[in-house]
Structure formats: C-alpha cells, structure tokens
Chain A
Amino acid sequence: MGPKKILLAEDDLDDQELFFDFLIKRQDIDLLPIVDNGVALVDYLTGIHDVHAFPDLIILDQNMPLKNGIQTLQFLKTNARYTHIPVIIYSTYTDERLIHTCSALGASGVFAKPFTKEGYDNMINDFLKIIA
C-alpha cells in the first residue's frame, strides 16, 4: 500500500500552512494540492479523469466561502462518481448539531481543529485509521 492521497479544502492561509507543514513530513501521506473552497474542490475533482488519481480522503473545512463544508459534503455524497471517497469535516468549533448533521449526510468523521502540535499528530493518525 502506497501513501494515502489526502485532499484538503481550506480557505484560511494559516491553516493551509499548518496542515501542509504537518502532513508534508509524513511518508504515509501524499498531500494533494490544497484547494481554497468547496467550489474549487469540485472543479479539481471534475478535472480528474483517471479513477486511480482520486483522493483516498477528503478533508473539508466547515467555514469556507462559496461552498461550505456541509454543502460540499452534500454534493459529494449525492454524486455517484464521488460517494465512495471518505469525507471528513473539520472546524474550529464543533457541537452536537454539526456532528449530527455531518454524520447524517455521510461524513466519516467530524474533527475540531487542533490547538497543539500533538493534536495535529493525533488527528492525522485518526484520519489514517478511518481510511485503513
């Protein structure tokens, strides 16, 4: 099994940088180019013609312009081409309602954005468990 391809949609540049810094070091992960929002993510996926080039996991920030996490999740889970790809929502703030809504729409997990380096490591390990 080669490294897992992870696609992130995140509009915040600091968070893009943090994510990049933490994931780029890992041999078991192949970080695809980070997209700015849900619309850009859909464009990116539409442009993939080889099924093997699909990401193994999609991470969506909840608060994004144009198409937020939930809206993008809904699109992915109702489009036969993408339903097989596990999707994770991550957000600064998670509550029962967000978790409930995302699970109902078929998300594989809902994560709060970490506050520490260890938090990032744990979250990334949890991602890999989900797609193992």
Chain B
Amino acid sequence: MIKRETIQTNKEDLEKELEELRHQLEEARETIEAIRTGQIDALVVQGTNGHQLYTLKNADQTYRFFIENMAEGAVTINTQGIVLYSNSRFAKMANRPLSKVIGFPFEEFISTDSLLFYKQLFEKSWQSECKGEVNLIDGGRPIPVQLSLSTIEIEKEISLSIILTDLTAQKNTQKQLRTNNEKLEEINLALELSNHDLHQFASIASHDLQEPLRKIHIFSSLMKDKENELAPELRKYLDKIVDSSGRMKNLIVDILNYSRLSANITRIESIDLNELVNEIHEDFELIIAEKKATMNVNELPVINAKRGQIRQVFQNIISNALKFSKPGEKPLIKISSKKISHKSFDAEENSTGLYCLIRIKDNGIGFDEKYVSNIFDLFERLHSKDKYEGTGIGLAIAKKIIEKHHGLITASSKAGNGAEFKIILPISQSQPEG
C-alpha cells in the first residue's frame, strides 16, 4: 500500500512537474515567437545573482549605441533608488567612473538643495511620468539638469528610467538673454530720457528763448528807427545787435523745425516735383536775378510725399547752390531725374522702377570731399559765417526729411569744382522698402 501510495504520489508529482514543464515550454515557445516577430527586445530573468538582463543582440547594439552616444544622461534605478544601469554620459555628468555609478544610490548625485524636490519627484514618478529640474553635484559646482522620470516594467519588476538633460548651456543662454534684456531696457530708458530732454529743449527754445530774443529784436529795431539821434559808433553797435538777434532767431526756428521732423510724416500727398521746383525758382527770383543764375531743370517725376518737407529739401539745397557760388561766375544749377529699380546709388535706370534718383548739380565753390560725411551733421559749417550766412542746419534737415521718406541722400564735390547732391526717393510711400 505504502509503496503503491508512494508510486501514486510520485506519479502525481511527476504529472504535476510535467504539467509545469509543459507550461514552461509553452511560455518559452511564446517568448521565442515574440522575439522572432520583434514584439520583445529584452528579457529580465531571475538568475542566481538576482535579476539579469538578456537582450536580442541586434536591438541591444542599436539601443546601446543610441544611449551611449546621446547627449542626455540615461539611468535606470530600482524601487530602492539604486542605479541598475547608467550610460557613460551620466557618469561624465557625475564626474565619476561608470563603476562608481552603477550600484550606488541615485540620491548621491543630487545636490542637497534639490534633494527634497527630487524625493517628491521620485515618489510621484511611480504613479505617473513626471519632469523636474534639479542640480547635480559633480564634485565641483552644481550642474542644472532636467529629469524625465518614467517607469519601465520588465517581467513584473518595475524600475525607473531617468533621462537627464544638461541645462547648463540653456541656463547660460537664459542668463545672457536676461543680462542683454536688462541692458536693452537701460538703453531704452536712457533713450527715452534723452528724447524727453530734446522735446523739453525744443519747447524751451520755442517759448522761453524766443521771448527775450524777440524783445531784443523789436526794441533794437525801434531804436534803429531813431538812429538819427544816435552817435555813428552807437549806430554800428546797434546794427550788430540787430544782426545777431536776427541770426539767433533763425537758429531757433531751424532747431525747432529740425526737432519737429522727429514726428512721423503724415498727410502724404501727390507732388509734381516740376511744379515744386518752379515755385522755389519764383521764391529765389531776386537772388537769381541778382547773381544772374540759371536753373536748368529736366523733366522731374510726380511722387508721393509730404509736400512742405520735400519743398524744404529742394529749397535748402538750391539755396546753398546759390549761396556758395564762385565770386565772379554765374551760378548754374542743373536738376535732373531718372527712375531706378531699387534703393541704391548704383541702381540701373528703369522706367517702371519704384524709386527716383534726383541730381542737383551746381558750379559753385564746392567742398573738400573729405568732409562729405560731415556736411549733413547739425551745425556743421564748412565755410565761415562772415562770408556765407546760414545756421548750418539746412542739410541736416534735408537728410532727416529724406530718411523720414525712406530715401537716401549723398553729396559729392571737389573743392572749387561745384557740388552735386543725389537724392533717392520712393515714388510712393506705401511701397515696401527694398
């Protein structure tokens, strides 16, 4: 009986074992099938030294290559927070040999100031994927990194995969950006202040300076009306006062006109430049007759611009041409124009071009070309005011007006050989710049 029972038991045991082996075989078959069809890349098998990772050779090589060569640190840790796997990039970040990374608690690499936050992340990450920024210690200064934590389940064993992105460069860029923005803000503020000062100055110049000046002017001109009662020497002084106050008045008016140009141009209208130049010719009729000057004007275009301002440009340049004429020579002013394809002084002529190039050439005393960059500056005078009157603002105004109209202006000359001004203006202000 006993023997029989033993046999019986053995049979049952064997059948049980067989059943289990069959089951294992079935599992193995399924696994092989899964590996063969690419459903599984790696396996974790309980071995004598704990869990062991088996991977399909090809996939393993590919992934290893990716992971070892990527710019991010990659670490796998178990539920106790011990590093099971690390790529060499992470070891580099931690400034330790790989052998001193694997098997060590991941917490060791987190700086104390981010440890609490890391622990929260670690807790949370077992429930759901999460991200957060912490500092790593590399022995020296902390490295800011972003951690992306997500769980991976291999054969019912859950571990945590952590991808570490080095934020040092990004933080530096952000810092640089912040510094630059701060600098920009400072410059902006300074610019606003100086703009404000300029407007204050314009306002003071317009009222407070002009008021006493007007009185000097009018009271001295009232005295001049009775100059017969004055000694000849006093008459001479009075003339100088009247002249000086007149010049100062012109200066103030010019400064005001210049500062008012800062506002954006409004009221654009269609201007026939032929008409405009004719008007200026009439304005200068007296001095043209006096100097026996000739104005030689070719066909000019119709453009879209602020009339008053463009008129001022032509007026200032023509006035200069008449003013700086050679003594004993009849002034000759030539004005011509052509349409050009783009906004450049060496652009080719193009009858359907969107820009026009206008040339105003005289035969006056000209200027030394080394001063060409100066002549459009405020208050720049190349000729003494005793011989040639003026405030030195005319060309600065002309340049500002042309620039406000999205155009260009330049001048060329040789001393004693006349001057030539070239102006480029868009035919229409609505055209995009090009």
Q: Is the CB of B221 within 8 A of A116?
A: yes
A9–B121 alpha-carbon span in the complex (Å): 79
Q: Is the CB of A115 within 8 A of B207?
A: no
User: Which candidate, B137-145, B212-220, B355-363, B420-428, is the interface stretch facing chain A?
Assistant: B212-220
Chain B: interface residue total (CB-CB under 8 A): 14
Q: Is the CB of A116 within 8 A of B207?
A: no
Question: Does residue B78 face the partner (Cβ distance < 8 Å to A)?
Answer: no
Question: Does residue B211 face the partner (Cβ distance < 8 Å to A)?
Answer: yes
Within 8 A of B (CB), among A25-83: 63
Question: Does residue B320 face the partner (Cβ distance < 8 Å to A)?
Answer: no
Question: Does residue A3 face the partner (Cβ distance < 8 Å to B)?
Answer: no
Q: Is the CB of A117 within 8 A of B214?
A: no
Question: Does residue B225 face the partner (Cβ distance < 8 Å to A)?
Answer: yes
Contact mask B197-239 → A, CB, 8 Å, 1/0?
0000000001100110011011001100100000000000000
A39–B238 alpha-carbon span in the complex (Å): 39
Question: Does residue B249 face the partner (Cβ distance < 8 Å to A)?
Answer: yes
Tell me, rounded to whole Å, the shortest Cβ–Cβ distance linking B21 to chain A. 102
Select A117's contact among B211, B215, B222, B260, beta carbons within 8 Å.
Answer: B222
A66–B221 alpha-carbon span in the complex (Å): 32
Q: Is the CB of A93 within 8 A of B221?
A: no
Q: Is the CB of B207 within 8 A of A92?
A: yes
Tell me, rounded to whole Å, the shortest Cβ–Cβ distance linking A36 to chain B. 16
Q: Is the CB of B221 within 8 A of A113?
A: no
Tell me, rounded to whole Å, the shortest Cβ–Cβ distance linking B116 to chain A. 64
Chain B residues whose CB sits within 8 angstroms of the CB of A12 once the complex forms: 211
Select B207's contact among A18, A93, A114, beta carbons within 8 Å.
Answer: A93
In this complex, the member of A63, A95, A114, A116 whose beta carbon has the largest number of chain B beta carbons within 10 angstroms is A116
Q: Is the CB of B221 within 8 A of A117?
A: yes
Q: Is the CB of B206 within 8 A of A117?
A: no
A92–B203 alpha-carbon span in the complex (Å): 12
A18–B211 alpha-carbon span in the complex (Å): 13
Tell me, rounded to whole Å, the shortest Cβ–Cβ distance linking B383 to chain A. 27
Within 8 A of A (CB), among B65-94: none
Tell me, rounded to whole Å, the shortest Cβ–Cβ distance linking B357 to chain A. 31
Chain A at the B interface: mostly helix, strand, loop or mixed? Answer: loop
A115–B212 alpha-carbon span in the complex (Å): 11
Select A14's contact among B210, B215, B225, B256, beta carbons within 8 Å.
Answer: B215
Select A115's contact among B206, B249, B256, B260, beta carbons within 8 Å.
Answer: B249
A63–B211 alpha-carbon span in the complex (Å): 11
A130–B294 alpha-carbon span in the complex (Å): 42
A92–B260 alpha-carbon span in the complex (Å): 17
In this complex, the member of A63, A92, A113 whose beta carbon has the largest number of chain B beta carbons within 10 angstroms is A92
In the complex where A115-B249, A117-B225 touch, is A93 in contact with B206 (Cβ < 8 A)?
yes
Closest B residue, CB atoms, query A119: B218
A11–B206 alpha-carbon span in the complex (Å): 18
Q: Is the CB of A116 within 8 A of B218?
A: yes
Q: Is the CB of B218 within 8 A of A117?
A: yes
Chain B residues whose CB sits within 8 angstroms of the CB of A95 once the complex forms: 206, 260
Select A18's contact among B206, B210, B218, beta carbons within 8 Å.
Answer: B218
Q: Is the CB of A92 within 8 A of B214?
A: yes
Contact mask A92-113 → B, CB, 8 Å, 1/0?
1101000000000000000001
Residues on A facing B (Cβ under 8 Å): 12, 14, 18, 63, 92-93, 95, 113-117
**Lowest 5 A-B CB distances belong to which pairs?**
A93-B206, A115-B217, A92-B211, A92-B210, A116-B221
Q: A115-B218, A116-B218 are in contact. List 16 more A-B contacts (CB 8 A).
A: A12-B211, A14-B215, A63-B207, A92-B211, A92-B214, A93-B210, A93-B256, A95-B206, A95-B260, A113-B214, A114-B218, A115-B214, A115-B217, A115-B221, A116-B217, A117-B222
